[in-house]
Amino acid sequence: MPSANKTLDFQKITLQDQERYLAHLARCPQKTSDYSFANLFGWAEEYGLEWCFDQGLVWLRQQSPFPVFWAPVGAWEDVDWESIAPELHRSSFHRVPEELTRVWRQRFGERMVLTEAQGQWDYIYSVQELIELKGNRFHKKKNLLRQFQRKYKAVYHALDLDCVERVLEMQSNWCTWKECQDSHALEAENTAIERVLKEWDRVSGLMGGALEVEGEIIAYTVAEALTTNTVVIHFEKGHTGYKGAYQAINNLFLASTAKGFEYVNREQDLDDEGLRKAKLSYNPVRFLKKYDVRFIGL
């Protein structure tokens, strides 16, 4: 938003500009799950996401269910924020990482108004802890994993282009079991999953895992490297008929495909109490906090 008189040219998020976007993301001081390219691309239809490349930043705008800006992506410390203050004043920002609020606070002081958005906080876990599942904190997870391993002769392998079609088939079946047609949230997630999986060989940096029992895929994970030491899990699904499938795919993916990372980001709970309870049960080591932001008196 370079000046009060310039109109930004927002465009749909496409694969063609992903490398340009990733170059800006690489310069971003704090990376949360929202701003990975796979997340933006996957959810672009649901949120009506658009972007604009201007003045060394990528400006992101959501149009649905209401218009609001996401945090701009780029080298925040190098931006002359005062020069674009009039545009900041006219905009509300959503999903703003804590580090950007620190930068803005230094520039604008009390003219920046923060609202805590706990439902958008990313849950961060120790990869080693989730592989080992040691101690009382992980007792229930370990038991479910052992029950699964005793009952089923499961085969794990990294998710690749050769098995994407079979994972899409499992996802379709999962939606049938969960009656996705009766839930807007599940329908929207299904669309995001299909959008990413169908472009598996074109979305940079994707990784994942699949779990098979007697030749049938019964669980899968879709992930990517968020930073050099953190992997983010975007989607994780398990067959409802296999008790412990979720614990198994989570454990095996980290132990095999993602063992080189120190942390795993399992995204947000979106203020869903059931989801929050499930994410807390894995004992996060910290959170990446995010806020809603507006400006006054600029």
- The pair of three-digit structure tokens given for residue 20, joined into one six-digit string: 């340009």
Residues 257, 176: one domain? yes
Residues 145, 247: one domain? yes
How far apart are the C-alpha atoms of 74 and 58, rounded to whole Å? 7
Which residues are paired to 219 by β-bridges? 211, 238
Residues 79, 135: one domain? no
Q: Is residue 280 assigned to a domain?
A: no
- The pair of three-digit structure tokens given for residue 110, joined into one six-digit string: 């009390």
Q: Residue 6 has what pLDDT?
A: 55
Given a contact cutoff of 8 angstroms between Cβ atoms, the answer to whether 98 and 289 are in contact is yes
Q: Is residue 109 assigned to a domain?
A: yes
Residues 100, 41: one domain? yes
Q: Is residue 283 assigned to a domain?
A: no
Residues 114, 127: one domain? no
Q: Residue 88 has what pLDDT?
A: 80
Tell me the CA distances in angstroms from 214 to 71, 75, 211, 286, one per residue in order: 45, 49, 10, 38
- The pair of three-digit structure tokens given for residue 2, joined into one six-digit string: 């370079």
Q: Is residue 279 assigned to a domain?
A: no
Residues 93, 174: one domain? no
Residues 110, 150: one domain? no
* CATH number for position 219: 3.40.630.30
Which residues are paired to 93 by β-bridges? 69, 293
Residues 109, 126: one domain? no
Given a contact cutoff of 8 angstroms between Cβ atoms, the answer to whether 233 and 266 are in contact is yes
Q: Is residue 133 assigned to a domain?
A: yes
Q: What is the rounded radius of gyration, in angstroms, for the C-alpha atoms of the chain? A: 20
Q: Is residue 3 assigned to a domain?
A: no
How far apart are the C-alpha atoms of 168 and 196, rounded to whole Å? 10
Q: Residue 297 has what pLDDT?
A: 81
Residue whose entry in the numeric block shows the structure tokens 């906090």:
289
Residues 46, 116: one domain? yes
Q: Residue 1 has what pLDDT?
A: 42
Residues 148, 255: one domain? yes
How far apart are the C-alpha atoms of 107 and 124, rounded to whole Å? 29
Q: Residue 89 has what pLDDT?
A: 79
Q: Is residue 285 assigned to a domain?
A: no
Residues 45, 131: one domain? no
- DSSP tag of 66: S
Q: Which residues of the chain have pLDDT under 50?
A: 1-5
- The pair of three-digit structure tokens given for residue 63, joined into one six-digit string: 């149009």
Residues 163, 233: one domain? yes
Range of the domain at 105: 11-121+290-295
- The pair of three-digit structure tokens given for residue 67, joined into one six-digit string: 């218009």
Q: Is residue 87 assigned to a domain?
A: yes
Number of domains in the chain: 2
How far apart are the C-alpha atoms of 35 and 28, rounded to whole Å? 10
Q: Residue 91 has what pLDDT?
A: 86
Q: Indicate if the alpha-carbon torsion angle 40, 43, 45, 47 is positive or negative.
A: negative
Q: What is the pTM of this model?
A: 0.94
User: Could you read off the pLDDT of 167-226 as tens digits, one per residue?
Assistant: 999 999 999 999 999 999 999 999 999 999 999 999 999 999 999 999 999 999 999 999
Pairing of strands 122-126, 68-70: unpaired
Q: If you count DSSP H runs as helices and E runs as strands, how many of each does the chain have, helices first? A: 10, 15
How far apart are the C-alpha atoms of 183 and 24, rounded to whole Å? 35
Q: Residue 2 has what pLDDT?
A: 41
